Amino acid sequence: MSERTLPEATFARTVLGSGPGLVLAHGAGSSVSNTYGPILEGLAARHTVVGVDYPGSGDTPRSTTPLDIDELADQLVAAAVAEGLDTFVLHGYSLGGPIAIRAAARHPERVTALILTATMAYPNHQQALTLRVWGKLAATGDRRLVSEFLFPHALGPQAIEAMPAEQLEEAITYAAAEVADGTVEHAELAGRIDVRDDLAAIGVPTLVISTTDDHLAPPALHRRLAENIPGARLVEIPTGHLPMVESPGEWQRLITDFLAEHDA
């Protein structure tokens, strides 16, 4: 169906549920299970959910070369097709947003709708500087330090201040253990990614979910996406960069309500 020849699907993947296709692109320094874990079962209740882990995430080996967005986009689509999905909705979170956008641009015959959460077409200066430091910290191999750096950037101010000190330390320790081996490469890709030229060609219903307390991917970037994708709808969720931590039920509802509109 696609005009482009797909590569062999080689990335490790998660497959759950049955029904219309929903393909997931996870965030940097994470994996499908860590990005979507709290809502995976809910998403799979009425959909066949497929997601791939980028190099250095999950069971996908780390890359020895800089990551290429076209390769990641094609692997995302190839995994879905390998699981029997001819067409599907794409959801991209954070770094997964531009990857999903590129997949929709490269394989428009397969994508029926697009959902984007806490993401951007390209990083602004604030985000680029954060990504640069994040990558340098990840290169030291000190996962605890990486986790300590990310928490005040990723969690909304109210959420982080509401945590008792002991709970915060436990959360930082848990997150440190989950830092992906390929975080250096993920952060480097996120710092140079730019899919602005793809936006005008997106011709499917699109939902942009803006995390309004987000300091890692500022809301101004979400608004620019919605403004530049034809017909895109912008909705807001009052969380930082981690809606799966701060408000998973509301995040899931926004996604599934949109899916219900467009499954037919």
Q: What is the mean pLDDT of residues 117-134?
A: 96
Average pLDDT over residues 6-19: 97
pLDDT in tens, 34-76: 999 999 999 999 999 999 999 999 999 999 999 999 999 999 9
Helix (H) or strand (E) holding 262: helix 248-262
Separation CA 142–CA 233 (nearest Å): 40
- DSSP β-bridge partners for residue 89: 22, 113
The pLDDT value given to residue 141: 95
List Cα–Cα distances, 91 to 49, 206, 242, 259, in angstroms: 10, 10, 15, 10
> Average of pLDDT values for 230-247?
97
pLDDT-based confidence at residue 264 (cuts at 50, 70, 90): low
- Asked whether the predicted pLDDT for residue 1 surpasses 60, the reply is no
Q: Give me the domains of the chain, ranges plus CATH numbers.
A: 13-125+181-262 (3.40.50.1820)
pLDDT grade for 261, boundaries at 50, 70 and 90: very high
Indicate the Cα dihedral angle 22, 5, 104, 190, nearest 10°.
Answer: 100
140/8 Cα distance (integer angstroms): 33
